[in-house]
Amino acid sequence: MAQADSTLRLQTARDQPSVFKLVLLGSGSVGKSSLALRYVKGDFNSILPTVGCAFLTKVVQVGEAALKFEIWDTAGQEKYHSVCRLYFRGANAALLVYDIASKDSFLRAQQWLGDLESEFLPGDIVVMLLGNKTDLSDERQVTFEEGKAFAESKRLLFMEASAKLNHQVSEAFSAVARELLQRQEEKVDQVQRTKSQVDLNEGSLRQVKCCAR
Amino acid sequence: MCRSWLGGPGLQREEEEAFASSQSSQSSQGAQSLTFSKFEEKKTNEKTRKVTTVKKFFSASSRVGSKKDIQEAKTASPSINRQASIETDRVSKEFIEFLKTYHKTGQEIYKQTKIFLETMHFKRELSIEEQSECTQDFYQNVAEKMQTRGKVPPERVEKIMDQIEKYIMTRLYKHVFCPETTDDEKKDLAIQRRIRALHWVTPQMLCVPVSEEIPEVSDMVVRAITDIIEMDSKRVPRDKLACITKCSKHIFNAIKVTKNEPASADDFLPTLIYIVLKGNPPRLQSNIQYITRFCNPSRLMTGEDGYYFTNLCCAVAFIEKLDAQSLNLSQEDFDRYMSGQTSPRKQDSEPWSPDACVGVKQMYKNLDLLSQLNERQERIMSEAKKLEKDLIDWTDGITKEVQDIVEKYPLEIKPPNQPLAAIDSENVENDKLPPPLQPQVYAG
């Protein structure tokens, strides 16, 4: 029975990859939307948004597994900060974006992290700190080391990228995808070790989630 | 294969019975003959309803009456009620037709749905949170069973779940939408008053990247407002979500036309807030609560519909908290505008009232344009007349000048004094010519 179920799950995984919700956080004009748009545009198979780039989806292939990203852009203006927690519900990953040429945006990213920490248990959500606009290295206000040190202290993934030059953009999203899949596998393994009965539920839960999309 | 399947009529009968039991007196009128005892029962029902209606005015808690009373009192007018039950019937028929295509699984689903509706009937007195939880559990159980037992592929499960939601929520709607046990209605009125008090907020204050000067854009804004208002008229949570999505799409188009680039969330949220402020959609909080409680939860946390719904929740939360700072105004200005002492639009140079609707504004603008055109036309006419006069003057002048010159130098035609000599005529000036050379002989 357990075997039958797992093959079923593999089948559905092949037809319909699991959906992961990723929220883009960061202050206004750090280039959140540009990053997402650049990332999605690089793939010719995905349907391009005709009018808006606030909600985007993309199927990613990581090795043999595939997953579907649902990218939720959030309003970055300071005045909307307090209401933006509503976007977090059900998120699997968050991309904390700052502008390497703006110290202020780096501090705001830290603020966002605080919000995430109050909403999620550690390990429930994959967070990446992303320094955007490496093309503006002449005006750099946040050093690579500074960003990396902060990310490491908080156990976040870290990268620097440039949406304008299309540098390291898909790499950043892929890193998040890999981490998500790895954590999912670990979770499944753990559950399997404890009780195979629970694994059945876990599998179908995941399916409910992906088919709802 | 179909032998086990009782077929349409059987299922329908079952369905009608369930329907009759849940609707008590109302639908039994049609199905059975009205006996006197039934009539009597109805009359007493009516009496108690009147009593509870009066009671309702005096007591804050509506739990005083029995559940039937609440149900009866909630039905607003007979015609609306009849219309609703027609819709319920239609949805039920569609649901049964839909399930028929799934044979045994469909039958199983129908049975489960019926049991669920029956249990919900007895849970009406429970808090709305408990009822919501039951519904959510039901959604999850049915979906799970379909996958594990029925081996239904995920995309079909999704389709079936949509139909189940439509069926059960069309029936539960009137009991669980804006229930009297909650303060949903109070919240509705509060947000409505709040939006009315904020009537003076301009697109500029919210930094809305939409220019309503462009007719195409203002058209989209109107459509977005219509969609968000329409949400209240739908009964199924998913249909309500579809209205929000439609509204959002119009907003994206409006931004796209204005800015000529795809809109990001930085543009979208302020515009949605502006649309909500302009539209003041009816029973906004009730609708949001209802969707949150009774929609399939996976639809709200993920997916495009979920994204727009979350944005609407953000917009409402923002409007509730909105202060001077969020509009880039000084506290004094904000207070003055809120109290209605002054309106920021009074400084506008526009001669017409700022509250006039778009059509009237457009009309004023057109009138303005017409009067300008009129002025120009008149100018052209006078210029043309001047040109005509100039032309006439010029011809006259020329004629006069020519005449003057003619007078000054009158043209005298003298008769030719001598006709020109023809070369070959005889004797013409022959005399003047030297005599022809004569050959002479020289002695040499």
DSSP states along B217-286: HHHHHHHHHHHHHHGGG--SHHHHHHHHHHHHHHHHHHHHHHHSS-B-HHHHHHHHHHHHHHH--TTHHH
Q: Report the candidate in B255, B285, B290, B279 with the shortest Cα–Cα distance to residue B269.
A: B255
Q: What are the tokens at B18? A: 């369930």
Residues of chain B under the 50 pLDDT cut: 1-12, 14, 16, 18-76, 348-349
- For chain A, the first-to-last Cα distance in angstroms comes to 27
Higher pLDDT, B84 or A38: A38
Chain B's closest residue to A213, CA to CA, is: B303
> Is-contact A21 A68, C-beta < 8 A?
no
In a domain, A121, yes or no: yes
Question: Which pLDDT band holds residue A75 (cuts at 50, 70, 90)?
Answer: very high
How far apart (Å, rounded) are the C-alpha atoms in residues B92 and B382? 75
Total domain count, chain A: 1
Q: What angle do CA B374, B380, B381 make, to 5 degrees?
A: 90
Distance from the Cα of B143 to chain A's closest Cα (Å) equals 7
Distances (CA, A) of A4 to A10, B86, B150, B415: 10, 45, 14, 134
Tell whether B263 is within 8 A of chain A (Cβ): yes
How far apart (Å, rounded) are the C-alpha atoms in residues B70 and B73? 5
pLDDT at res. B33? 42
Distance from the Cα of A54 to chain B's closest Cα (Å) equals 5
Tell whether A87 is within 8 A of chain B (Cβ): yes
- B147, B160, B245: best to mutate for the A interface, most A CBs within 10 A: B147
Tokens 């130098």 locate to B409
**Which of helix, strand or coil describes residue A158?**
strand
Q: Given CA atoms B14, B132, B140, A196 in this order, what sign does their dihedral have? A: negative
ipTM, interface predicted TM-score of the complex: 0.82
In a domain, A123, yes or no: yes
pLDDT at res. B78? 57
Partners of A12 on chain B (C-beta within 8 Å) are 153-154
Give the up-direction half-sphere exposure of residue A9: CA atoms within 13 A in the CB hemisphere. 21
Tell whether A121 is within 8 A of chain B (Cβ): no
Q: Is the CB of A53 less than 8 angstroms away from the CB of B144?
A: no
Section A75-95 average pLDDT: 91
Tell whether A6 is within 8 A of chain B (Cβ): no
Q: Is the CB of B302 less than 8 angstroms away from the CB of A83?
A: no
pLDDT at res. A64? 85
> Is-contact B68 B44, C-beta < 8 A?
no
Chain A's closest residue to B322, CA to CA, is: A79
> Is-contact A127 A24, C-beta < 8 A?
no
- Helices and strands, number each (H, E), in chain B: 17, 0
For residue A177, give its domain range: 2-195
pLDDT at res. B79? 63
Q: What are the tokens at A176? A: 């998040």
Partners of A24 on chain B (C-beta within 8 Å) are 265
Partners of A51 on chain B (C-beta within 8 Å) are 249, 252-253, 255-256, 262-263
In a domain, A200, yes or no: no
Q: Is the CB of B310 less than 8 angstroms away from the CB of A86?
A: yes
In a domain, A207, yes or no: no
Closest partner CB to B253 (pick from A51, A77, A84):
A51
The contacts of residue B57 (CB under 8 Å, 6+ apart) are none
Q: Is the CB of A52 less than 8 angstroms away from the CB of B256?
A: yes
In a domain, A211, yes or no: no
Higher pLDDT, A122 or B276: B276
> Is-contact B275 B316, C-beta < 8 A?
no
pLDDT at res. B27? 40
Phi, psi for residue B314 in degrees, rounded to 5: -60, -45
pLDDT at res. B396? 95
Kindly state the helix (H) or strand (E) to which residue B337 belongs, with its residue range: helix B331-339
In a domain, A158, yes or no: yes
In a domain, A208, yes or no: no
How far apart (Å, rounded) are the C-alpha atoms in residues B81 and B87? 10
Per-residue model confidence as pLDDT tens digits over A60-74 = 888 888 899 999 999
DSSP for A130-148, please give it.
EEE-GGGGGG--S-HHHHH
Note the residue count of chain A. 213
Which segment of A122-136, A184-198, B205-219, B249-263 scores lowest on mean pLDDT? A184-198
Chain B's closest residue to A2, CA to CA, is: B148
Distances (CA, A) of B409 to A17, B126, B344, B404: 108, 122, 81, 9
Question: Which pLDDT band holds residue A197 (cuts at 50, 70, 90)?
Answer: low
Kindly state the percentage of chain A with pLDDT values over 70. Answer: 79
pLDDT at res. B49? 45
How far apart (Å, rounded) are the C-alpha atoms in residues B301 and B308? 10
Q: Is the CB of B318 less than 8 angstroms away from the CB of A83?
A: yes
In a domain, A70, yes or no: yes
Provide the chain A residues 40-59 that lie in CB contact (below 8 A) with chain B. 49-55
Q: Considering the entire predicted model, what is its pTM?
A: 0.70
pLDDT at res. A10? 38
> Is-contact B130 B179, C-beta < 8 A?
no
Q: Report the CATH number that the domain containing residue A136 is assigned in CATH.
A: 3.40.50.300
Q: Report the candidate in B202, B203, B210 with the shortest Cα–Cα distance to residue B257.
A: B210
Chain B's closest residue to A1, CA to CA, is: B148
pLDDT at res. B60? 44
pLDDT at res. B438? 82
pLDDT at res. B58? 44
- B141, B238, B314: best to mutate for the A interface, most A CBs within 10 A: B314
Q: Is the CB of B154 less than 8 angstroms away from the CB of A15?
A: yes
Q: What are the tokens at B53? A: 């209606």
- For chain B, the first-to-last Cα distance in angstroms comes to 160
